[in-house]
Amino acid sequence: MGVAIEVEHLNAWFGSTQALKDISMHIAANHATAIIGPSGCGKSTYVRCLNRMHETVPGARAEGRVRIGDLNIYNGTSATQVRRRVGMVFQKPNPFPTYSIYDNVAAGLKLNGFRDRRRLDEIVERSLRQAALWDEVRDDLRKKSGSSLSGGQQQRLCIARALAVQPQVLLMDEPASALDPISTGKIEELIFQLKENYTIVIVTHNMQQASRVAEFTGFFLLGELIEFDRTEKIFTNPADKRTEDYITGRFG
């Protein structure tokens, strides 16, 4: 089993407040890894450090070694290069409201100067198929805006937009928390399909979701990685009492 992301001694701050404390974690390629823990424990900060979004917050900084494939992302690599390799899907779907469905998917490619119309058409179709949305929108690609879709469709559109630039890694920060159960089921089904071609890191408050979709799980608490192991072991035989207390609902 290959390693897609190597994180060594990662620390992150918001101003003088330390949000992540010495995180080390090797994330397996072509698997889903869930990040769980109570609110404010550093889950979202951690995934935002994996594509250099953390530093976009005024006064925020990160230190440590994060390697994605052959790229050491905190060693002189531009944030643009990093984000070509690492796509991100947020908690709340954020399609560009005035863009058509087609232009939403093609946005990242066009931003990078991609102009081949025939190739764009192929990539838009492929990305929408990968996001299990093509059959629902194929007749409305240029007629409807991204914001005209339902919440679940908007989230899959955002996944298609992230996939269009062909990243190696897909980060998902609570991707289904704003969705109804049917849409949540579609997103989870999608994660299973995407693992064949992408490495997925998903932040979730929903422990049942973590146990359904992820082969590996990391439990964060107060900015520290308390435990990281195969999901089955984390949920049935955790090594740390704090993990057990969180999973059994004693806090969080």
Alpha helices in 86-240 (DSSP H): 101-111, 117-130, 134-137, 151-164, 181-194, 207-213, 231-236
Residue 1 pLDDT class (50, 70, 90 cuts)? low
The pLDDT tens digits of the residues spanning 88-115 come to 999 899 999 999 999 999 998 888 788 8
Between CA 160 and CA 104 the distance in angstroms is 9
CA dist., res. 246 & res. 252, Å (int): 6
Beta strands 17-28 and 3-14, pairing class:
antiparallel
Provide the 8-state DSSP code for 180: -
Q: What are phi and psi of 6, to 5 degrees?
A: -110, 120
CATH superfamily, region 3-93+167-247: P-loop containing nucleotide triphosphate hydrolases (3.40.50.300)
- Domain ranges (residues) in the chain: 3-93+167-247
Region 49-70 average pLDDT: 94
- Taking only the tens place, the pLDDT of each residue in 27-48 is 999 999 999 999 999 999 999 9
